[in-house]
Each structure stands twice: as structure tokens, then as C-alpha cells.
Amino acid sequence: MDRQTLVSSSSSTNSGNSISPAPPEDAWVNTYRKLLPRWESLTGSNQLAIPIEISRVNQVDAERLDIEMSAMLKEQLVKVFSLMKPGMLFQYEPELYAFLEFLIWRFSIWVDKPTPGNALMNLRYRDERAIEETGKVRTGLEGPGLTIAQKIWYCAATVGGQYIWARLQSFSAFRRWGDTEQRSLARRAWYLIQRIEGFYKAASFGNLLVFLLTGRYRSLIERALQARLVYGSPNMNRAVSFEYMNRQLVWNEFSEMLLLLLPLLNSSSVKNFLRPFSKDKSSNSAGDEALCPICQATPTTPFLALPCQHRYCYYCLRTRCSGSLSFRCSRCNEPVVAMQRHGGSFNNVTQKE
């Protein structure tokens, strides 16, 4: 193969592998403008609101934290009025509590900020009606806050409604509308108040069941206003751990249960039941035998419980025997069948009729 043939072959190869000319600078812009209307028509017709799940625990915890915050402010308010005229706080208590709730609303919801509890749980209010109208969302958390009308109605229902209801209940109880001796108009108004309260509680219970099922609108006010709680930031964790909130809720419910059950329990019976398990045997010492086992004081008018002959105050022993048909001695747990004045004659125990 001669030199001329190699040169011609090399030139033909280079011409076949030559780089094609670059497209115009505005080619990409023109293509984008052509395809954009078609893309918007395809995505806009099929785009729906993204279903999102807001943690029910976070919503309930936020409500509990708001209640705790209000309780702390009320406690500080009580301390402020402790040095003033007695009874002044009790007279204007509903107005002061309503003013505190109004301040919380004014500096949170009115200025498009979450309440303290919602802020800790990374929640905010969203107008669900605007989402249903537009339907254009990306993460499911977009959407405007509450409108001015929704904010005003929220304040009227939470602050004004609670204040009016508290005042109405106190006024009706003070006037004794529920007594049968009152005129029929007041009695009907009392029954109407009770019916409204019962209906509201039943509706709240139904709303709670729906909330547990769907995770939307934890209260009737939120459902009526269509004010839904959503996450304020999709990448932010809750500020309060579940462990702390679980412990707080458990102890709160346990304390309420104790406050309900303790008045129903007989303290002396519980004390006598726990006595065999106690390691402290000092109550059987000779020094404690001279004291009344109920009031732990030296009896001024000593009486003996029979048949065990342990010493009591007359008033302590008489009230216990009159209040219980089967009163037992606080020292030896024997049934007391009679009482005797120290050094005197027998007196039968007064039984409950």
C-alpha cells in the first residue's frame, strides 16, 4: 500500500469522526417554553392534595401542654392577689381567667403563631378550606394559616364561650334555679342548661372518636372552623419526649383517681390493715399508751374502749363509734362494743341508725 493511499484513507477517517456543530444558545429555552404548557396540563389535571397523617399523640400532648401553661399562669395570678383583700380574686375569678386566655390567644393565634403547646409539638393551624379549594400541594403541609374571621370566631368560642358558660353556671347555682321551690321559669332555664351541657359532652365524645379514627380536629371548635393542626416544619422533631409526656399523663390521672377514692376510704381501717406490715412497733410502747391513738394527744376526758380497755379521748371515741357500726380499736384492731369512763360506769356504744 503506497503513501498516497494511506493519506487518503486517513483524511476520510478524520472527516467521518468530525464533531457536529453546537445547537443555538436559545434552543433549550425554546424547548422548555414549548413543553411547559403540556407539562402543566398533565400535572394540573391529576394533582390532588397529598394525604398526610399528623400524630394524634402530638395533638393531644399539645392540648395538655396548653392546659398546663394556663394553670401555671393562673397559679402566679393567685399569688399576686394573695396580698390583696380576701375574696377579691374569688369574686372576679372568671374575668381574670378569661383575660389570661385572651392574652394567650392575642400573642399566638392572632399573630399567626402557634400556641405554647403547639410550638413544643411542632404544630400550627392551617385553613383546611383553602387547601380543598386549590388542591396544589407538594409535601402536604403547605397552606395558609387561619383567616381573620376564623381567628375571631376561635377567640369568641374559647375565651368568650368559656367565660359566659362559667358565669351562667355560677349565677344559676347562686340563685338556686334547680330547686323545686323556685318558679317554673327558673327551673326550666336550669333544665335547659343541663340539657345543653349534656349535649355538648356527648358531641365532644363523638368528636373524640372521630378524631381517633381520622386524626383531624381534636375539638368541636376546630371542626366547626375547619382549622386543622399540621406540622410547622417537616424536618423538625417534637421538643418534648414521649417518655416525659407519658409520665406526666400517668401521674396526672393517678392523682385525680386518688382524689376521687381517698374520701371514700376509711383511714382507720387502712391503718389497721397496714399495721401488721409495719416495722415500727413504737406505737405499742408504754409511753404511747397514755395518748389517744386518734388525735395523738393526752386525753382531757379519758374513756376506755371495751373490751380491750385502750384509752381514748371521749370525743374521738364517741364520734368513731357513732360514725361506724363496726368500729375497731386503732391499737389492737378489736371490735369496740362499749365505752367506759376512766374509773366510771359503763355506757353502751351509740350505734348508727
Q: Is the overall model pTM greater than 0.75, yes or no?
A: no
Q: 93: pLDDT confidence band, cut at 50, 70 and 90?
A: confident
Q: 176 and 190 in contact (C-beta within 8 Å)?
A: no
pLDDT digits (tens, 9 = 90+) for 157-185: 999 998 998 888 888 877 777 665 656 78
pLDDT, tens only, 117-149: 998 888 999 998 887 555 555 555 678 889 999
- Mean pLDDT within 189-215: 91
Q: How many other β-carbons are positioned within 10 Å of the β-carbon of residue 293?
A: 21
